[in-house]
Homo-oligomer: A and B are copies of this chain.
Amino acid sequence: MTTAQHTPKLTARGAATRTRIVAAAANLVREHGAAGTSLDDVMAASRTSKSQLYHYFANKEDLLRAVAWQQTDRIVEAQRPELDQLDSLAGLRRWRDKFVAARDEAQNVGGCPLGSLAGELADGDPENRVVLQKCFTAWASPLLMGLTTMRDQGQLRPDADPDALAEAIMAALQGGLLLSNTYRSSRPLARALDMAIDHVTSFATVRGAAVG
């Protein structure tokens, strides 16, 4: 992904410091949520000082936006092996399995790092929403491409709308993660994703069913 930020000129050391800050903040946000993460925590975890934070970021929300980018990179990167072959029903199912397994490994604690960020940031600065939208789009992009390929190859009927399908899958994913976190069980997520995949399957042609 490498979602480059518009950071004009940075020394090697400066860039490293900035990266360290964002990484530390991302870890904290993943564990305690955005509101539950103080700048002091970020300072301690990244071994930096207040003035450095404000040297690299305008304010906390600005830092949080950078965290959103980083999370997106991280998520997309972690799922690259699966996302890269999301061009068949079988590939979609592998992606689902990996996701559910990952949640179980994390004992279903903590929702989607991007989803919780969205919940806390979406009602703030309008700039936040722009960033979050781009993050979701970036995340869904491999999904969208895979679905488009499937349709173009004739695995899905021509009337299948890859855009609508991808968006619905993302919704199922987010909602599933929220419920799974609340119930401390991967079951809601699994059911939500199964529903989403069944939905895609309902657009499959004979050929698509054979491939998938």
Contacts and interface: CB of A to CB of B under 8 A. Distances in A.
Interface string A174-212: 111011011110011101101110110010000000000
A202 B4 CA distance: 44
Given A116-B119, A123-B33, A179 B170 contact: yes
Interface in A7-31: none
Interface string A143-184: 000000000000000000000100110111111101101111
A109 interface: yes
Contacts of A195: 168, 171-172, 195-196, 199
A120 interface: yes
A199 to B, nearest CB: 5
A57 to B, nearest CB: 20
A118 interface: yes
Report how many copies the assembly holds. 2
Interface string A44-70: 000000000000000000000000000
Specify the main secondary structure of chain A where it touches its partner.
Answer: helix
Given A123-B110, A184-B129, A191 B178 contact: no
Contact of A191 (B133, B164, B174, B182): B164
Contacts of A32: 123
Nearest to A124: B36
Interface string A118-150: 111011000001001100100000000000000
